[in-house]
Structure 1
Amino acid sequence: MLEKLPQTFLDYVEENRQALIDLIADLCAIPAPSHNEGARADFCKRWFEAHGAQGVYIDEALNVVYPYGCKPEGEVMIFMAHTDTVFPDLEPFAPRYEGGKMYCPGVGDDTANLAVLMMLAAYVTRQGLQADCGVLFVANSCEEGLGNLKGSRQLAKDYAGRIRQVVSFDGYYLMLCNGAVGSQRYRVEIKTEGGHSYGNFGNRNAIACLASMIDTLYTVKAPTGGRTTYNVGTISGGTSVNTIAQNAEMLYEFRSDCREDLAFMQNFFEKTVECYRAMGIEVEVELLGERPCTGDVDPAAQRELEGRCLDAIEQFTGKRVEMLASSTDCNIPLSQGIPAACFGVCTGGGAHTRGEWIDLESLPTGMKIAGSLVLSYFHG
C-alpha cells in the first residue's frame, strides 16, 4: 500500500487547480501532429526551465527530457506523457468550456496527462526530493498512429541497459494498461498495364486485382493464442469510369497481443503478396508502422509496478480497475523486457474525435493518483 500523500503536495494540488487548467489550454493551443511536435516541445522545455529544471534537452526524436538526479550510466526510472496528437491540423485549437468540461481535440489524449506530468516534475524540483535512482520526466514524441512510437524508441536507445521501469500517462484513470498490443501497418500498391475501358478490354485492372487481394486477406482465420484483428482501412486508385485502372492501393494492418499470433499474421500477409506477384502482378509494399508485443518481462517486477499503479488509482477512486493490453508508448519497454504500465490522470470521452473532452473536476483526483505513484519513488 502506498504511503499517504504529504500535506505539501495536497496543498500544491489545491493551489494549482487553475494553473493546471491554464497549462492544458496553453498546450492545446500549440499544434502537435506526430512528427511535427517542435513548437510544443520548445514550449515544454521553456516551461520546465522556468520552474527550476536544469539539464533539460530536446533529443533528435523531439522528446523533451528532464533528467532529475541522474548519474552517468546510472539506472533510471521514466515517467512520460506524449506531446503529439492524432490530428493533422497546424492551426491552433481553442478550448471550449461547458458544463464543467473542457472540449478540444487532443485535450485528453494526451494534453491533460502531459500537463499533469509537467506539474509533478515542478513539484519534485521545488521540494528537492531524492530517489534511489535517476528519474527522467519526458514529454515524448510520436505516440500516435504513424508516429510509430519514435520517441519511446529513442529513449530506449539512448538509455539502453539503464531503464528500471517505465510509466506512461495516457488515457483515463479508470483502467490500467499492463501489456502491449503489437501491430504491423502497410501501404500496398498494385500496378497493371491498364488502358481504355473499351479499346483495351481484357487488360488487367489494378482495382480488381486489389479487390481480389483484399478478399484473400479476409479469408484468414485469426489465430487464438491471444486477441488478433486485421483491417483494410483505406483504398484508392483508378483514373476515370472509362479507364482500366493502372494502379490501386490500400492501407492494411493487423494487430495482436500475442507474439506468435502476430508472426502468424505476418507470414500469411507475406505469402499472399508473393502469390499475387507470382501471377505477374506488380505489388509494392511499404511498411508504415511496426509496434512490438510484450517480450520476456520479469513477472515479479511487472506485478510490483502494476500493484503500485493499482494502489494509487484505488486510493483516490475506491476502485480496483481492470488491467488490459493496448498499444501505447509502453510497447517499446515491454518488448525489451522492461516493466512498464500506462494509465491516465483524468476522465473524459471522445478521444480521437473533434468533440474530445475532459471532466475538469477529475483533474485534482488524477493529479493525486499520479502524484501518489511518482512520489512513492522519492524521499526527503
Structure 2
Amino acid sequence: MELNQEISQYIRDHSGEALELLTTLAAIPAPSNQEEKRVEFCRSWLRQQGASEVLVDPALNVICPVGNWKEGPVSIFMAHTDVVFPDTDPLPVVRDGNILRAPGVGDDTANLTALLMAAKFVLQRGLSPREGGVLFVANSGEEGLGNLKGSRQLMADYGKRTRQVISFDGGTGGIINRAVGSRRYRVEIRTEGGHSYGDFGNRNAIAVMASLIDALYAVKVPQGGRTTFNVGVIKGGTSVNTIAQQAEMLYEFRSDCREDLEIMERHFQALIAAWQTKGVTVEVQLVGERPTMGPVDPAAQQALVEQICAAIRRWSDQELRLKSGSTDCNIPLSMGIPSACTGCYIGGGAHTREEWLRIDSLEAGLHLAFDLVLQAF
C-alpha cells in the first residue's frame, strides 16, 4: 500500500496524539530487564486501539500480530521499550518550545511511538498483509546487559518463518545494515587485603585490577574490520585506609568482523590466564554476547536497504548514512534474515540524561514509519 494523500492527512491529524503518547511513554521507567511498566502500558494501549490479540512473551516482548502470523511467513517491525537509565520512578520529561527533553526520549521512545501509531492505523483500518503475517513488537532488552533478550526470543519463536526485520532505533537518516558483534565480561579480582598501615605490602585488588586494565588497553586491535574495546565500569574497595580485598570491572570488545572478534577473545583469555598466575583470585563471567553477520542473501539485504533509503528520501532531508552497529537486528542478521535499523526523529544526547529531540521532526518520522510498515500491506 502506498502512503497516499489520505494517509498523509491522517498522520497530520494525529500528530498531536502522537506527541501526547510520546510524552506519556517517555515518563514511564524501563531499565533493561525491568520493562514491566512500559510493557503493561503498551499492551493496554494496543488493546484500546482494537487489537484482537496482544501477546506478552517470556522475554517481555509485547507482540501485536496481524494476518496469517501463526502459519505463514512474517515480517517484523519492532522498537525497543528499554532505556539505559536505572530509574524506577517516573523519568523527567520537559518541553522547551520545539525541544522535548527526557532520558531515552529518542532512543528509543520516539521510535516506539511511531511504531505504535502505525500499528493503530493498521488495526483501525482492518488492513491485511500482502503475504503471511506482520508482527508489531515493542521489544525488550536492547540496551546494555539486556543482551538482546527480546530479539533472541522473537527469533527463537518466529525466526524460521521471518521474511525480514525492520527495527526502528536511532535517528532519521542513519541506517544500520551490518551487525557489530560484541562480548561483555564481568571480571572480579580478590586478594587478602588488610589494613593500609598494619598490612602494608599485601596485594591490593584495585592495584591488580588497574594493571590488568593497563594490559588490556595495550592490546592492538586487529585490522580486518572496525574493532573497539572498553572498560565501562569499575568497582571495589572498602575505605581509604583499607587494602582492597575485591575489585571488579565490566569489559567489552566489539567488531563488525567475526574473525577479529575471535582474535580479541584470544587476547582477553590469554591476559586473564596470565593474571591468574599472580597468586590472586581472578573470576570471569560472560554477561553479554551479540553475534556478527551471518549468511544473509546480499540481494535481499540490499533490496531492504534500498527500500528504507527511498522512504527516508521521500520524507526527510537528512543525509543518508549506512553504517555498522549493534542493535536488535544482530540476531536475525546472524541467522541470515534480511534486517536493517533506522530511526524516526531528529535529536541528540542519546544515552545521556540530557537527551533531546525536535518536536517538528516527529511528523516526518511518522510518515517514514507508516511508509515502511504499509509496504507490507
Q: Above 0.5 in TM-score? A: yes
Q: Distance in 1 between matches of 2:253 and 2:5?
A: 48
Is 1:107 equivalent to 2:105 in the alignment?
yes
Q: 1:128 to 1:241 in 2, by over 3 A?
A: closer
Distance 1:110 1:319, change over 3 A: closer
Would the alpha carbon gap of residues 27 and 242 (structure 1) be closer, same or farther in structure 2, given more than 3 Å must change? closer
Give the letter aligned to residue 107 of structure 1: V
Deviations 1:86-140 (A, max 9, x none): 1111111242211211111111011111111011011112222222121000000
Give the Cα separation in 2 of the matches to 1:241 and 1:72.
61
Q: Secondary structure at the match of 2:160?
A: coil
Paired-residue identity, %? 56
- For 1:239, the equivalent position in structure 2 comes to 238
Aligned to 1:174: 173
| Displacement of 1:310 | 0.4
Q: Secondary structure at the match of 1:220?
A: coil
1:321 maps to 2:320 = yes
Aligned to 1:117: 115
Q: Give secondary structure in 2 for the equivalent of 1:32.
A: coil
Paired residue type of 2:52? Q
Contact 2:79 2:108 (C-alpha < 8 Å) held by counterparts? yes
Asked whether the equivalents of residues 254 and 265 of structure 1 are also in contact (C-alpha less than 8 Å), the reply is yes
Q: Which runs of 5+ in 1 are unaligned?
A: none
Partner of 1:58: 56
Root-mean-square deviation (CA, aligned residues, Å) is 1.5
AA paired with 2:104? Answer: G
1:47, distance to aligned residue in structure 2 (A): 1.0
Distance 1:197 1:91, change over 3 A: closer
Q: Is the 8 A contact 1:168 1:342 kept in 2?
A: yes
Distance 2:193 2:270 in 1: 25
- Quote how far apart the aligned CAs of 1:319 are: 5.3
Give TM-score, length-normalised by structure 1.
Answer: 0.95
Alignment correspondent of 1:6: 4
Distance between the aligned counterparts of 1:236 and 1:192, measured in 2? 14
Superposition deviation, residue 320 in structure 1: 5.7
Alpha-carbon spacing, 1:14–1:152, altered in 2? closer, same or farther (3 Å): same
Give distance in 1, aligned partners of 2:41 and 2:247: 42
AA in 1 matched with 2:24? D
**3-state SS of 1:34 partner:** coil
How far apart in 2 are the matches of 1:148 and 1:4?
36
Letter in structure 1 aligned against 2:117: M
The alpha-carbon deviation at position 235 of structure 1 amounts to 2.1
Between the aligned partners of 1:65 and 1:154, the Cα distance in structure 2 is 11
Structure 2 vs 1, CA of residues 319 and 83 (structure 1 numbering), >3 Å: closer, same or farther?
closer
| Structure 1 runs, 4 residues or longer, greater than 4 Å off | none
Aligned to 2:136: 137
Amino acid paired to 2:133 = G
Could you report, residue by residue, the CA deviation over 1:232-285 in whole angstroms, capped at 9, with x for unpaired residues?
A: 122222233433322221111111111111111111111111111133321011
Task: State the AA in 2 paired with 1:364.
Answer: E
Query: Structure 1 stretch 13-22 or stretch 286-295: which is displaced more?
Result: 286-295
> Retained in 1: the 8 A contact 2:223–2:260?
yes
Matched residues in 1 for 2:260 and 2:246: separation?
A: 31
Give 1:223's aligned amino acid. Answer: P
Pairwise CA distance, 1:14: 1.1
Query: Is the counterpart of residue 26 in structure 1 residue 24 in structure 2?
Result: yes
Work out whether residues 159 and 332 of structure 2, in 8 Å CA contact, stay in contact via their aligned partners in 1.
Answer: no
Aligned partner letter, 2:334 = S
Stretch moving more, 165-174 or 232-241: 232-241
How far, CA to CA, are the matches of 1:318 and 1:357 in structure 2? 19
Quick check: 2:69–2:135 contact (8 Å CA) kept in 1?
A: no
Deviation, 1:296, is 1.5
Partner of 2:206: 207
Task: Tell me the CA shift for residue 4 of structure 1.
Answer: 4.8
> Hey, what's the Cα distance between the residues in 2 that align with 1:247 and 1:320?
48
Equivalent pair of 1:85/1:109 in contact (CA under 8 Å): yes
Maintained 8 Å contact 2:28/2:38: yes
Distance 2:27 2:241 in 1: 47
2:34 aligns to what?
Answer: 36
Aligned to 2:159, the other structure's residue is in SS state coil
The answer to whether the Cα contact below 8 Å between 2:69 and 2:134 also exists between their aligned partners in 1 is no
Which moves more between the two structures, 161-170 or 351-360?
351-360
Matched ranges for 1:61-76 at <5 A:
61-76=59-74
Distance 2:266 2:24 in 1: 46
Between the two proteins, the alignment pairs up a number of residues equal to 376
The equivalent of 2:352 in structure 1 is 353
Pairs within 5 Å for 1:153-172: 153-172=152-171
Structure-2 change in CA distance of 1:71 and 1:190 (3 Å): closer
What displacement does 1:220 show?
A: 1.0
Alignment check: 8 A CA contact 1:310 1:320 kept: no
Aligned letter for 2:124?
A: R
Gaps in structure 2 of 5+ consecutive residues: none
